[in-house]
Structure 1
Amino acid sequence: MSTSPAARATQWTFLTNHARVLLHVARDPDVRLRDIANAIGITERAVQLIVADLEAAGYLTRARVGRRNRYTVDPTVALRHPAEADHPVGDLLDAFLHRESAPAAAGRQPLRS
């Protein structure tokens, strides 16, 4: 069964769920996995697996604080794909987190090479 280009255009995104989870954790280190799942539109179990992947790869660490978890992102860990391996994940986080905190009138930031 073939899918039309218009239908395919609505089925993909630039960021993976792993990137989305990492961005949520970077925004709020005390975020609940349930809240991430609701925001992204995936199951809580999927978020648990993604957090485990990110932790195993060294992108984040988890510490127990009372009955909750607190996450710490290591912005120095390199991106995984060989084409981006010369960039730390902090570059990706900066691009999105800076955009959220910058005033709307500031305009767009130039791309870094």
Structure 2
Amino acid sequence: MVTSTPGRPAWTFLTNHAHVLLAVARNPDALVADVAAQVGVTPRAALSILRDLEEAGYLVRTRRGRRTHYEIRPHQHFRHPSTAQHEVDGLLDLLGRERPSSLTAERPPPPPTAREDAP
């Protein structure tokens, strides 16, 4: 049985690995503690996930002075067989960046279609 803690749902559509990847896509220079806080995991868990993502080829980690910079490797495919034909880039494009306000406005209605009974 899956139970939830106060303020957190019992399950989500995305794994913690996906949430960490999205956090890094939003801020490639984020501290591990910041990524952990954003995802809702411990810093140790976030670091473990970052290592998993690096070992699997989804990101590259480089040191810049005392900081770590993460670079997402493009065109990596999902790992699950049912979605392996899709690249992770689509998820990052959909959820990884803040959308400009012009894109979040209500969509205009579609243009009228030609009716068959029209002359």
Q: TM-score range by the shorter chain?
A: 0.7 to 0.9
Match of 1:57 in 2: 56
Report the TM-score when normalising by structure 1.
0.81
- Give the aligned partner of residue 82 of structure 1: 81
Provide closer, same or farther for how the CA distance between residues 67 and 16 of structure 1 changes in structure 2, counting only shifts above 3 A: same
Query: TM-score, with normalisation over the residues of structure 2?
Result: 0.77
Structure 1 runs not aligned, ≥5 long: 5-9, 108-113
Instruction: Note closer, same or farther for the CA distance 1:95–1:3 as it changes in structure 2 (3 Å cut).
Output: closer
**Percent same amino acid at aligned positions?**
48
Give the aligned partner of residue 105 of structure 2: 105
Structure that is richer in helix per residue: 1
Deviation at 1:102, TM superposition (A): 3.3
Structure with greater Cα Rg: 2
What whole-Å deviation, never above 9, does each CA across 1:16-73 have from its counterpart, x for those lacking one? Answer: 1000000000111101110011112110000010000000000000000000000000
Greater shift, 45-54 or 34-43, is seen at 34-43
Q: Give me the whole-angstrom Cα distance separating, in 1, the residues matched to 2:91 and 2:10.
A: 22
Q: C-alpha distance in 2, partners of 1:3/1:63?
A: 38
Structure 2 residue runs of 5 or longer lacking an equivalent are: 4-8, 108-119
Q: Which runs of 4+ in 1 moved over 2 A?
A: none
